[in-house]
Structure 1
C-alpha cells in the first residue's frame, strides 16, 4: 500500500473570485504534486491551444513567441490562427490563450470574424471546462480601443469559461505589457500543471545549434534590429496642382538577407522632427544631455529619447491624465469626465506635446518626469509596392505625406514627413519586413484577380501586377483605382496604362471623385461593372481590397454583397453565405487600416 499526497484546495465559499480560486487551486496542485512520486510514474505536460486573430501579423508574431516559450517550459503548445479554427474545437480544449487584434471600428480581423460569429450564435454549448487568457492589441487613438478582445473575453466568460488572469489591452507600445503578461501566464501554467512536464524531447524536436543559426539568419533584421537601407530613389507621384503629396521610394536591400513576397509590408523605424525636439527642450529649459531611462528603454540622453524613442506629436487620454494629475490642471482634469469625451477627443486631435507644455506650463520639472509620461514611438508599416522577382535587391513603398495645420502650427505625420523632408537620396533608413501571409496571390497562376485599391492602396497591387508578369502568369488582372483627380493624382499612371495597353492589365477602371459634379468612388465603378464582376467571380476570381478600413473597405464590402445578390439572383442571406465562402476559399482578402 502506498501513501498518496493530499493536495489542499480553496473551498467554494472562500472570499475569492472564480478566477482567483482557480489560480490558487492550480498553484497548490502544482506545488504539492512536485513532491516525490511513488514508483516510476510518467508525468505529462499541459496541452495549451495558442490562438491568434491577426490583421497585419503582429498578433501572430506574439503568438509564435509565446508558443515557443511554452514549449521550452515543457508544455504541449499548439499554435493556430482563428481563421482555421472553430468554436467547437475550442470547446474541446482545457487551456487556451487568445491573442487578438482589433481594427477599424472595433471589429475582429477579417480571418477571425467567422469564428466569432459562430461563437455568438444562440445556444452555443457552455465552455465550463475551458481555462483561458486574452491579450488584446489596439490603438488608443481609435474610439473602440481593443473592442474585439474585450468582446471575445466577455463572450468566453459568459459561456462559463474560467479566466486564468485578467485581460490585458495593449496600445502601440507592445513589448513591456506583453512581457509582463507572458511571465504571469507562464507562472500560472507552471503552477496549474498537476504533474511535471515530460522531457522536452518527448514534446518537441530539440533545437539544434544549426536550427538556431538558420533562425537567426532568417530573422537577421527585424523590428528590434532593423536593416539600414540606402534610399536610392525618391520621386513625387502627384502633380504640383494636387492638394496632397504622394511619394514613391526605392530602398536597396542588397546583401541584407532580407526576403519578402508581394503583399508584404515594409516596417520603417521613424524619427521625430529635430526642430520640434529642440523646441520642447527649450520650453523645459533642458540642455538635451540629461540622462533618462524610461520603461523599456536603455539609458540615453533626453534629446535622443525625444528624437528616436518617444511619441511627441500625438496626445492620448492616458498622457492627459498623467499630466493633469501631476500639475493639478483643472481644465484638463475636467475633460477626463465621461460626459466630456467628445471635447477631450477634439482637444487631443488638435494638439501635440508642445501644445500641452505651452498651455499648461510648469508641470514637468525634470527630463525623467517627461520621458516617464510619454509612450514609445512605434514603427510604421507601408505596403510594399514592388515585386522581389521584378525588382531584385529593392523594396519600393508608396507614401502619402500627411500635412495639416491646427492652432496656428504646421504639423505632419512623423514618418511621412521624415521621408519627404529629411531623408535625401543616399541616406539610410532603418527598415524590416513585416510578412502578410493573408494577402498573397493565388497559387494558381491562371486564376483571375480583382484588385480594389484607391489612393496608396494601389501599392500591393502594383507589386502583384509586376509579380504576375515576372512569373508569366496567364490569369486575368482587373484593377479598380480611385483618387481625387486624374490630372494630378493618378498614381503610377504611365505604368498602369502601359500594362492596360499591352493586355497584362485586362481591365483598368478608375474613379476620380472630384473630376465631375457628383463624386464617384471605386464602389460606384464596381456597381457599374456588376455583371462582369459577377462573371469573374463565377470564373474563380480572387478579390483583394487595400486601403482605408473605416469607410472605403466597408463600402466596397457592401457593394460586393449587393453585386452577388443582384447578379447571382440571391437573397441577402444567400449572398452573405456566398461572400463568406469566398473568404473560406481564400478568395476574398483585405489589407485595411
Structure 2
C-alpha cells in the first residue's frame, strides 16, 4: 500500500519531514512508502521504529544546573535548549527547542530573547555559542518554504478590534482587559487551549522620544530585517525592540562614544557577565545617559533586536463566539527612572488599538493543552489572575457541546470586589451547574494572604477523589511562583491522601502528565 508523504516543498526540515513520513507509515501499518513526493513511485524500505526524542530537562521547576546535567552528552543544540527557561512562552518568538536550534544554526544571533531565563540564560548561551565557534559544525542550510495561501506567523491576518472591556472594578490596583478581535474572512480556526500570536507595535510616545534623542526627524530611510528599507519612525514602531537593549547595541554605542568615560562604561556593561546591562534599560535610557555616542542611524537600528510576536492564551471558544477570538490581557505599567514604562504588547492591545483598527495575528496551536477527548471526564482547572484565560474558553466549550463531565475551578486574585475576573460568567456557570465546584482565593481580603494552593489543601480529600476518578488537571499562570506552588501542593495532597512516599507521589503526577491528565500552560 502506498502512503502519501510530505513533499520536498513542505515547510519542514529534512529531519522533520523524515520523522513525519515515518510516523504516517507506522500509523497505517505499512513498511513501504514513496519518499520523494506524492507522485513518486513506491520504494520498498525496511520499516524502522519511530523514536520520539525526550527532553527530561524541559521542566521550568528545575534549576539551570539541573537542566544542564540532564542534557549532558546530548547534541549542542539540545544543551542550548536546556539553558532556556523551559516555558515555551513564545516571548522570544520561538519555543525553547526552536530558539535553541536557531541559535545553534546561526539563524538567530540575539542571545537575550529568553526573558524568563534572564541574565542566567543569556550568559550560558553566550558560553555555549563561544564553545561552538571554537569547533564549528556544519548545518544543512535548509530553508522552510512558507505557504502564503493561508494565514500563519509568516503571513498573519489583520484582525480588527471589536471591543476592549475592563474586567476590573473601580479601585483595583490592576488593569485587565478582555480584548475581542474579529477573525471573519481569515479562514483561521482554533481549539480551546490554543494561543494567539500578536505582532505588537511599540508605544508611539517612546518612539517619538527616541527619534528626538537620536537627533533625527523620523523620515530617514533605515534597514529592517529582510533587507528592505523604510522610514525610521515605522522601523522603530513595528520592527525593532526598543524597550530593552542587548550587547550588540551597547557595543556599537561604545565604539562611537567620543567621551572616553562613556565608552569605558559601555564596554564594562558588555564585558561584565556578572552585572551586565541593567534589565530595565531601554533605548532612550542609553541615548540619554551616553549623549556622545551617536552611531549612524542605519547602524543603530540594525543593532537592535527584531520585535517578536507575543503569545496569549485564547479566552474564548468558537462554539460560543464564531468568527471571534478573545484574549485576557493584563496591562503592564510601572515607574522606573523617573519615567512611565509600558508593556509593549499589553499597551498596544489596550491603548494603541482602537475599534476597527487592526492587529496582525496568527493561531499558535497547543496540542499539549487540550480538554479530554472523553467529554464525561472530570476537569480540574487552576488559574489565578489572567491564568483564568483558557479556562473561560474551556467552560464555554463544554457548555456549548453539552459535555457531561464535572468541572472544578480554582481562581484567585487580589480582592473579590475589584479583581474577580469574569465574575458574572463564572457565577452563572456555577448557578446552572456547569461548574460543579468553585474555590476562590482573594489574597488581600483578609490579614493572611490566601492563594489557590491553600484552597487546594483545604479540599485535599475531595481533590484526591477526583484524581482517582480520572480527573484531568490543568494549570495556567506564572511558572516561577504559582505553578511551582501548585505542583508542590499537588504532590503533598497525593502523598497524604494516597498514603504514599514523596517519590511515589512525584511518580504519580509524572504518570498523569505522560498520559495527558496533568497539563500546564505557564509563562
Q: Which one is further off, 472-481 or 276-285?
A: 276-285
Note if 1:406 corresponds to 2:352: no
* TM-score (structure 1 length as normaliser): 0.68
Cross-structure match for 1:335: 269
Separation in structure 1 between the aligned mates of residue 95 and residue 320 of structure 2, nearest angstrom: 40
* TM-score (structure 2 length as normaliser): 0.77
Say if 2:84 and 2:96, in contact at 8 Å, map to a contact too. no
Say if 1:266 and 1:433, in contact at 8 Å, map to a contact too. yes
Note if 1:292 corresponds to 2:226: no
Cross-structure match for 1:583: 513
Decide whether aligned partners of structure 1 residues 561 and 94 sit closer, same or farther in structure 2, where only a CA change above 3 A counts.
closer
Separation in structure 2 between the aligned mates of residue 379 and residue 147 of structure 1, nearest angstrom: 12
Cross-structure match for 1:496: 426
Say if 1:107 and 1:147, in contact at 8 Å, map to a contact too. no
Decide whether aligned partners of structure 1 residues 410 and 390 sit closer, same or farther in structure 2, where only a CA change above 3 A counts.
same
Say if 1:237 and 1:492, in contact at 8 Å, map to a contact too. yes
Note if 1:432 corresponds to 2:362: yes
Cross-structure match for 2:349: 419
Decide whether aligned partners of structure 1 residues 503 and 524 sit closer, same or farther in structure 2, where only a CA change above 3 A counts.
same
Say which SS state the counterpart of residue 527 (structure 1) adopts.
helix
Decide whether aligned partners of structure 1 residues 433 and 484 sit closer, same or farther in structure 2, where only a CA change above 3 A counts.
same
- Superimposed CA distance per residue, residues 311-353 of structure 1 (whole angstroms, 9 cap, x where no aligned partner): 0112234533443344362223333454742xx36x222x211
Note if 1:392 corresponds to 2:314: no
Note if 1:366 corresponds to 2:300: no
Decide whether aligned partners of structure 1 residues 539 and 258 sit closer, same or farther in structure 2, where only a CA change above 3 A counts.
same
- Superimposed CA distance per residue, residues 207-241 of structure 1 (whole angstroms, 9 cap, x where no aligned partner): xxxxx99x665xx1111221111111111001120
Separation in structure 1 between the aligned mates of residue 468 and residue 274 of structure 2, nearest angstrom: 51
Say which SS state the counterpart of residue 420 (structure 1) adopts.
helix
RMSD after superposition? 3.9
Note if 1:528 corresponds to 2:458: yes
- Superimposed CA distance per residue, residues 164-200 of structure 1 (whole angstroms, 9 cap, x where no aligned partner): 98998865779xxxxxx9x94216x9xxxxxxxxxxx
Say if 2:166 and 2:176, in contact at 8 Å, map to a contact too. yes
Following superposition, the deviation at residue 516 of structure 1 comes to 0.7
Say if 2:382 and 2:474, in contact at 8 Å, map to a contact too. yes
Following superposition, the deviation at residue 407 of structure 1 comes to 0.9
- Superimposed CA distance per residue, residues 28-86 of structure 1 (whole angstroms, 9 cap, x where no aligned partner): xxxxxxxxxxxxxxxxxxxxxxxxxxxxxxxxxxxx94435875xxx777688xxxxxx
Cross-structure match for 2:13: 67
Cross-structure match for 1:348: 279
Decide whether aligned partners of structure 1 residues 365 and 103 sit closer, same or farther in structure 2, where only a CA change above 3 A counts.
farther
Decide whether aligned partners of structure 1 residues 434 and 366 sit closer, same or farther in structure 2, where only a CA change above 3 A counts.
same
Decide whether aligned partners of structure 1 residues 244 and 142 sit closer, same or farther in structure 2, where only a CA change above 3 A counts.
farther
- Superimposed CA distance per residue, residues 82-138 of structure 1 (whole angstroms, 9 cap, x where no aligned partner): xxxxxxxxxx99999999997747769xxxx9x996x77xxxxxx8xx988548469
Decide whether aligned partners of structure 1 residues 568 and 94 sit closer, same or farther in structure 2, where only a CA change above 3 A counts.
closer
Note if 1:185 corresponds to 2:139: yes
Output aligned runs, 1:229-378, within 5 Å.
229-327=159-257, 329-338=263-272, 340-341=274-275, 344=276, 347-349=278-280, 351-378=281-308
Structure (1 or 2) with the larger CA radius of gyration: 1
Decide whether aligned partners of structure 1 residues 440 and 165 sit closer, same or farther in structure 2, where only a CA change above 3 A counts.
closer
Say if 2:85 and 2:96, in contact at 8 Å, map to a contact too. no
Say which SS state the counterpart of residue 510 (structure 1) adopts.
strand
Following superposition, the deviation at residue 378 of structure 1 comes to 0.4
Decide whether aligned partners of structure 1 residues 310 and 147 sit closer, same or farther in structure 2, where only a CA change above 3 A counts.
closer
Decide whether aligned partners of structure 1 residues 170 and 99 sit closer, same or farther in structure 2, where only a CA change above 3 A counts.
farther
Separation in structure 2 between the aligned mates of residue 298 and residue 227 of structure 1, nearest angstrom: 21
Separation in structure 2 between the aligned mates of residue 165 and residue 353 of structure 1, nearest angstrom: 28
Say which SS state the counterpart of residue 464 (structure 2) adopts.
helix
Decide whether aligned partners of structure 1 residues 297 and 566 sit closer, same or farther in structure 2, where only a CA change above 3 A counts.
farther
Output aligned runs, 1:457-496, within 5 Å.
457-496=387-426
Say if 2:148 and 2:155, in contact at 8 Å, map to a contact too. no
Separation in structure 1 between the aligned mates of residue 267 and residue 77 of structure 2, nearest angstrom: 34
User: Structure 2 unaligned runs (5+)?
Assistant: 1-9, 24-47, 115-132
Cross-structure match for 1:228: 158
Say if 2:180 and 2:326, in contact at 8 Å, map to a contact too. yes
Say which SS state the counterpart of residue 185 (structure 1) adopts.
coil
Separation in structure 1 between the aligned mates of residue 335 and residue 457 of structure 2, nearest angstrom: 37
User: Structure 1 unaligned runs (5+)?
Assistant: 1-63, 81-91, 121-126, 154-163, 175-180, 190-211
Aligned counterpart in structure 1 of residue 385 of structure 2, from 448, 455, 474: 455
Say if 1:260 and 1:435, in contact at 8 Å, map to a contact too. yes
Say which SS state the counterpart of residue 140 (structure 2) adopts.
helix
Say if 1:98 and 1:134, in contact at 8 Å, map to a contact too. no
Decide whether aligned partners of structure 1 residues 438 and 576 sit closer, same or farther in structure 2, where only a CA change above 3 A counts.
same
Separation in structure 1 between the aligned mates of residue 76 and residue 467 of structure 2, nearest angstrom: 40
Output aligned runs, 1:554-565, within 5 Å.
554-565=484-495
Say if 1:140 and 1:316, in contact at 8 Å, map to a contact too. no
Following superposition, the deviation at residue 293 of structure 1 comes to 1.7
Cross-structure match for 2:130: none
Q: Which one is further off, 318-327 or 431-440?
A: 318-327
